[in-house]
Amino acid sequence: MRRRWLKRGMALCMLFAIYLLSREGAILTAKTGAESRGLIMIDSGHGGIDPGVVGIGGLQEKEVNLEIARYLEKELKKEGYEVLLTREADMGLYDEDSRNKKVQDMQNRCAMIQEKKPLLTVSIHQNSYEDQEVCGPQVFYYTHSVKGATLAKCIQEELNQQLKVENPRVEKGNSTYYLLKRSEGVLNIVETGFLTNPREAELLATKEYQQKCAKAICHGILKFLKTVEMNSENMV
């Protein structure tokens, strides 16, 4: 009789243990499913009436920017970040009846950043120059931002390495670009290449190269966030 009760007791204990384990499992799953590591904003430069640089073969900057932005969104989401794009289609952030669409567009991009307060923002652009030989990625940060400079260094280095740039540039401070000057928080302008360089324009039109650029930018962002985490007290 006693042995039977003992057996029943043990069976109950086991059932309870299984219940606890499955419950914990469910909580863990729920946590990983719901928790984000934070919001990252991707600004895809130009759009709508503003094509940005029109490069070799009529390649439009606004299209290349949006493709890279979308690939970058995927990469960051894989890493557990929430991502917001300032535009998801070929459109500007202005009203059709606006008198100055370009100004309204830039103001709205800044307003979005101000409202959403992301961990950081990267604004994707393409470069141009009269000398067709000039090529390679270039990252800009607001001159007076320590975190901006660190992010730019991380992204520039990744782009230089992963795109195997022959004459690598270093990140550059700037205090006149509207978005750098007027936006809140950490922001970089990332010019992934020159649409006026025949070889680079050809590459930037391909899905493979756009993905490569996105992966490099993503690695740069991850490296930056790790650095910030480690030195959070010393950085402004």
Interacting residues toward Zn ion by CB under 5 A: 45, 52, 125
- Angstrom distance (rounded) from CA 139 to CA 186: 13
CB 63 within 8 A of CB 90: yes
Q: Which CB atom, from 124 or from 221, has the smaller least distance to Zn ion?
A: 124
List the Cα angle 194/201/88 in 5-degree steps: 85
Write down the least CB distance from residue 194 to Zn ion, Å. 11
- What six digits make up the tokens of 109? 């991009």
Q: Which CB atom, from 45 or from 47, has the smaller least distance to Zn ion?
A: 45
Q: Which CB atom, from 135 or from 228, has the smaller least distance to Zn ion?
A: 135
* Beta strands across the sheet bearing 187-194: 82-85, 39-44, 120-127, 187-194, 138-142, 172-174
Q: Which CB atom, from 52 or from 220, has the smaller least distance to Zn ion?
A: 52
Write down the least CB distance from residue 146 to Zn ion, Å. 25
Q: Which residue has the tokens 């070889």?
A: 199
What H or E segment, with its residue span, contains residue 205?
none
Write down the least CB distance from residue 64 to Zn ion, Å. 10
Q: Which CB atom, from 51 or from 168, has the smaller least distance to Zn ion?
A: 51
Write down the least CB distance from residue 67 to Zn ion, Å. 14
Torsion angles phi and psi, residue 77, rounded to 5: -65, -35
Nearest position to Zn ion, beta carbon:
125
Q: Which CB atom, from 52 or from 148, has the smaller least distance to Zn ion?
A: 52
Q: Which of 207, 211, 119, 220 is nearest to 160 (CA)?
A: 220
Write down the least CB distance from residue 201 to Zn ion, Å. 14
Torsion angles phi and psi, residue 188, rounded to 5: -125, 145
Write down the least CB distance from residue 52 to Zn ion, Å. 4
Torsion angles phi and psi, residue 94, rounded to 5: -140, 160
